Amino acid sequence: MTRSLVTGGAGFLGSHLVDRLLARGDEVVALDNFYTGRRENLAHLADRPRFTLVEHDVTAPLPRQGAMSGRFDRIFHLACPASPPAYQRDPIYTTKISFLGTLHALERAKEDGARLLQASTSEVYGDPEEHPQRESYRGAVNTLGPRACYDEGKRVAESLCMDFRRQHGVDARLVRIFNTYGPRMDPNDGRVVSNFIVQALAGKPITMFGDGLQTRSFCYVDDLLTGFLALMDHADEHGPVNLGNDGEFTMRELADLVLELTASRSQIELRERPADDPMQRRPDLTRARTRLGFEHTVPLRTGLERTIAYFRALIAEGGKVIAQGPPRESRPYDSRTQKESL
């Protein structure tokens, strides 16, 4: 039986990954401090055999007691706030998560002899001057801007993975994630898909930044995780590998489709484009296709229908949904008590 650790396991991607790993027979430990992850995402696994949820902040060394004792075969390192409102509300903490969290995950991989997957991001390409973006492209990132805590944090995390490979022989693998969406997205995290859907369902204005002609490529969560597992199962591919969907849509096209699928009468409201917001974002998937046999299978319309159904059900169940509301207050790690300070 493969024993897997998922850091950030209560998050949007992490919780879906836990489901996939359990379905294929792994013993799984999910680790999260609930800074952006949600217990509700794993509530359906409360009594599931071979699954344990551990509350811990990855900016501290990973514990060696309880469910965290023994060795792991695989470590999926996903712990990090991923939406701009979430990672910008405490940028110093975001940088600490990217550096220290990755360091601690790599140290555990070294000790256990585990294979590690680092969840990197298309944000390492910045506001790209190459389109679509290939893995060989080094990016155009503003190191002084408000997004740098995340963009540069993920870049240094990639550097750490490569140094642990060269210096310690750790089998670290890099995946660069492009915009991903689906059920269990936090309705209040400020990402474009969840924002548009929540606003449309509430009948509130669809807030669009700039002129709405910025483009993104949207990948449904199931397709992304298929790529994760293909990379981790591959005999010798270490990446970096782009994963996502190479269909390209403007923000206006996305908004129009959401309005159609929700039958909403919400109006589009233009706002100033944020600093360093990329104008174009689309992955070159050549490496993923040739090395991993990866292909996205869920069209945007289908994926949005499933995601809208999730948010409708959340609202019907009395879930707290705030159209473009601020994220919950940060709870930084307190090294004196090794607990989260409220």
Question: Cα separation of 78 and 98, whole Å?
Answer: 10
pLDDT for 36-81, tens place per residue? Answer: 999 999 999 999 999 999 999 999 999 999 999 999 999 999 999 9
Domains of the chain, earliest start first: 1-177 (3.40.50.720)
Give 13-46 pLDDT, tens digit per residue.
Answer: 999 999 999 999 999 999 999 999 999 999 999 9
Which one of 150, 181, 310, 333 is the catalytic residue? 150
- Cα(122)–Cα(173) distance, integer angstroms: 15
Exposure pattern of 162-191 as b/e (b: 16+ CB <10 Å)? eebbeeeebbbbbbbbbbbbbbbbbbbbbb
> For 166-217, how does the pLDDT look when each residue is reduced to its tens digit (9 = 90+)?
999 999 999 999 999 999 999 888 899 999 999 999 999 999 988 999 999 9
The percent of the chain in helix, strand and coil, each rounded to the nearest 5, is 40, 20, 45
Q: Is 150 a catalytic site residue? A: yes
Average pLDDT across the chain, whole number:
91
Does the structure show a pLDDT above 50 at 337? no
Question: How far are the Cα atoms of 234, 259, 284, 293, 329 from residue 225, in angstroms, in the given order?
Answer: 14, 28, 18, 13, 29
- Provide DSSP, 191-238: -HHHHHHHHHHHT--EEEETTS--EE--EEHHHHHHHHHHHHHSSS--
Give Dmax (Cα) for the chain.
57
